[in-house]
Amino acid sequence: MRAEIHQGRVDAALERARALGKLVPAMEEWAVELASANITSFEAWEACALPLVNLGGPKLAGRVPPPELLTHGKGRTNAERLAVCAQLGIEPGQNV
């Protein structure tokens, strides 16, 4: 009975950490091991851990931009490129 209660508390703590973005898949094995061995320590970690943010892919007002805009340098006019180069003091076409 105690083991079931402990496992329920462990499962709830792990799920809560996942839902809050504090537990990512790369940390899963460590988290399960710690929570199973010492739930108090896991809860202390959870209390001070910052959420990790997944920003996902680039989006524009909730839409994914067209693939041609994701290619390096595409979507800019020649005048824009020349203006940026002038501001940075580099030659157009110079690799930096």
Measured CA to CA, the distance from residue 19 to residue 51 in angstroms comes to 10
Question: What are the boundaries of each domain within the chain?
Answer: 2-48, 57-96
With bands split at pLDDT 50, 70 and 90, how would you rate the model's confidence at 82?
A: confident
Under 8 Å CB-to-CB from 13, ≥6 apart: which residues? 35, 39, 42, 43, 46
Residue 59 has pLDDT above 80, yes or no: no
The pair phi, psi for residue 60, each rounded to 5°, is -125, 110
Under 8 Å CB-to-CB from 81, ≥6 apart: which residues? 73, 92
Residue 72 has pLDDT above 80, yes or no: no
Entry pTM: 0.53
Percentage of the chain beyond pLDDT 70 is 73
Confidence (pLDDT) at 39? 95
